[in-house]
Structure formats: C-alpha cells, structure tokens
Amino acid sequence: MIARLLIALAGLMGAAGVALAAASAHGADASRLASASAMLLFHATAILACVALLARGLLHGGIGLIAAFGFVSGAALFAGDLTLRQYAGHSLFPMAAPSGGTLMIVSWLAVTLAAVLPKPNP
C-alpha cells in the first residue's frame, strides 16, 4: 500500500513537472518554473527508483521509505515555493525552497545509508 502511494505521488509529481516545463517554455521570465519542473521530474524518478530498490530488497526498508517520502516532501516544498513566487508574487513561507532543497539533499544521503546498512533480520 505504501509503495502504491509513493508511485501515485511520483506520477503526480511527474505530471506537474511536465506542466511546469511547458509553462516555463511559454512564459516570460519563467526561470523559476524551469527549476521547479526539474526538481519535480528528477525526484519523481528517484521515488520510483526507491520503490523498485525496496521491492528488490536492495535498500534498508525503513530508511529507504524515509528517503522516498523525503523526496516527495522536499520537492513539493521547493517546487511549490518557486511556483507560488512566480504566479502569486510571494513565497509559501520564509525559507520554504531552501528547506525543501535541504530535505532533498538529506534524502539522497538517506538513500546512501539505506544502501550500505544491512537489512534487519525478520
């Protein structure tokens, strides 16, 4: 069930990433949207990879799940903040984009940890 949720969230992120890429290609001064699009698309793929690696037993389960949900949260904060700035002229909240970026970095480090730690014995 959790894997399906992550796959669905990755699908939504991918769709939003493509939509923002189109908006950035057709909008004036839309560099923020291009950055938001890239983060959504890259991390949607990372989420799918985490789900696949977890299913194959190649990542420590708990840490791998934390990393995947960190990608969702971090990309949503980052892209949401940049998109809101573009269209509404204000941020989501102070430091939202940097917080999202930091969360994505920490999530990548969590993937690293999940790959090197042994899986707990059942």
Question: What confidence tens digit (pLDDT) does each residue in 68-89 have?
Answer: 999 999 999 999 999 999 999 9
Torsion 7-8-11-13 (CA) sign: negative
Placement of tokens 């999530």 in the chain: 107
pLDDT for res 3:
97
CA-to-CA distance for 122 and 120, rounded, in angstroms? 6
CA-to-CA distance for 77 and 97, rounded, in angstroms? 6
pLDDT for res 30:
86
Q: Which two tokens stand for residue 104?
A: 């994505």
Distance of CA 2 to the CA centre of its chain: 16
Taking residue 30's Cβ as centre, other Cβ atoms within 10 Å add up to 18
**Positions of the chain with pLDDT under 50:** none
DSSP codes of every residue in 29-62: T-HHHHHHHHHHHHHHHHHHHHHHHHHTT-S-HH
Nearest Cα to Cα of residue 80 among 5, 6, 13, 10? 13
| pTM, full prediction | 0.94
Cβ atoms 72, 53 nearer than 8 A: no
